[in-house]
Amino acid sequence: MAPTSSKPRFTQAIASAGPNDAARYEFWAPKIGRRVTLFTPLQVRIWTLLEGTPRVTAYCERPAYWQHDGGKLLPDFWVKAGRREACWIITSDSQPEGTETLSLSEEIEMRYIDVRSLASRSVWIENWIRILPYLSANARFVSDRLMRDMEQASSSGPTLGEIERDFQPHDIVLVRTAVLMLLHQGRVKPPALRERALDSRTVFRSLRP
């Protein structure tokens, strides 16, 4: 993937009715600060993965039509990780990675995302499906002071239950939301969250020394 500028190339999905008889899934996307509309459960799982990956700094669903083999192809997502970017196409068939040219006359890597690769990330994705509603509903009520306190409290690697106990009588929902916001921002690490479901025994450790 070729390096690009820090400004997101795509910020809004293009107008698209979606596949015939497709369902519509609408979510608030904390990372990009707007609502997203998706049409398949697989798109929902990929979106959840993008939100739950701190190195992904921006993304956009259905970013633009791709000129491909004399026709047009609509990628499922454009993804920016650091200074690098790619367009993702969800597929159930094995496809080689390659580079095509968008109508913008600049080259962006096109990546085929095999849905079978999601199996190894199923626990992580399910955990983020549970986490994102906390961020969408409660993040605006969490103060910077509470965030700093949660990050400091996580320096010793406590469990979520221990954090919630130690910060009584704070609102337990806001305490949990603050911890999950730190996770979303890549400021704390949960060593076991890829292998087991989120619960009061989940350990969170601050990445700051």
Q: For residue 92, what pLDDT is reported? A: 77
Domain assignment present for residue 5? The answer is no
DSSP character at residue 17: -
Amino acid letter for position 11: T
Question: Residue 154: inside a domain, yes or no?
Answer: yes
Q: What is the pLDDT of residue 174?
A: 97
What does the pLDDT read at residue 62? 94
Query: Considering the domain boundaries, does residue 12 fall inside one?
Result: no
Count of domains observed in the chain: 2
Give the C-alpha separation, 2 to 134, whole Å: 35
103-112 long-range contacts, Cβ below 8 Å, gap at least 24? 103/64, 103/65, 103/67, 104/9, 104/64, 107/2, 108/1, 108/2, 108/78, 109/1, 109/2, 109/85, 110/66, 110/75, 110/86, 111/86, 111/87, 112/88
Q: Which pLDDT score is estimated for 2?
A: 42
Assign residue 75 the CATH number of its domain: 3.40.1350.10
Strands 107-114 and 84-91: parallel
Query: Which structural domain, as residue segments, surrounds residue 83?
Result: 25-118
- pLDDT for the residue 192: 92
Amino acid at 43: Q
Does residue 130 sit within a domain? no
Residues with Cβ within 8 Å of 197's Cβ and at least 6 positions away in sequence, in order, are: 123, 126, 127
To the nearest 10°, report the CA torsion of 14, 19, 22, 26. Answer: -10
pLDDT averages per 10-residue partition of the chain, 209 residues: 61 78 89 95 96 96 82 90 89 57 59 87 96 97 96 96 95 97 96 94 91
Rounded to two decimals, what is the model's pTM? 0.87
Residues 113 and 154 in one domain: no
Please indicate, yes or no, if residue 19 is contained in any of the structural domains: no
Q: State the Cα–Cα distance between residues 64 and 100, nearest whole angstrom.
A: 13
Residues 45 and 114: their CA atoms lie apart, in Å, by 12
Query: Tokens 């398949």 map to which residue?
Result: 40
Q: Are both 153 and 96 inside the same structural domain?
A: no
